[in-house]
Amino acid sequence: MPSYTTQDPRIQAKLDLIARYPTMPIEERRKAFDEFRAEPPALRALERILYVPYSFEPLPLMLHYGYATTMERLKEVALDLGYKLKWDVDCDHNAFVKVLSLIIREVIDHPVALKGAFCEGKMVLVISLCTNWAPSPELEENVPKLKEYLGETEDPKWYLDCERWYCRYDL
């Protein structure tokens, strides 16, 4: 059984499906992950099956641990830092690099990345602290700092990567 529950029965059904993954026949596994990928929830915790396995097992889909954000939110943070936007556009990559660099250098002293992810039928941006492929041992000290800096009220969640949303069987 999963180590987490949710009040939303639709999301809980998906989480239960993923928890049963190791005991499913191959055909059902593919169908289960296709259903999960279609509208993945942001997860508070992960089952062991979703962490990078030991040798001779398929590599699971990639999940990012962090906070969902928007281009507008990153632009606000950049402006608060005194960055002058060079163009009046929605996407000023220099501003986003400045925000992420500041977070890495001054807020948490830990690598972060801005990644695209699927969440509940939409694509979102995630400020990612680590992945299920490369967990970070320093999360306990860095999560509270990032949470406070971003003004978040909830803890970070796991988000399905938009490029590596599938299991790899070719290893």
CA distance 50 to 33: 11
The residue extents of the domains of the chain are 9-161
Residue of higher predicted confidence among 45 and 65: 65
- The whole-number average pLDDT for the span 118-143 is 89
What is the structure's pLDDT at 114? 86
User: Is residue 143 predicted with pLDDT exceeding 70?
Assistant: yes
Q: CA nearest 157: which of 45, 34, 16, 8?
A: 45
What is the structure's pLDDT at 157? 94
What's the whole-model pTM score?
A: 0.71
The kind and range of the H/E element at 131 are strand 122-131
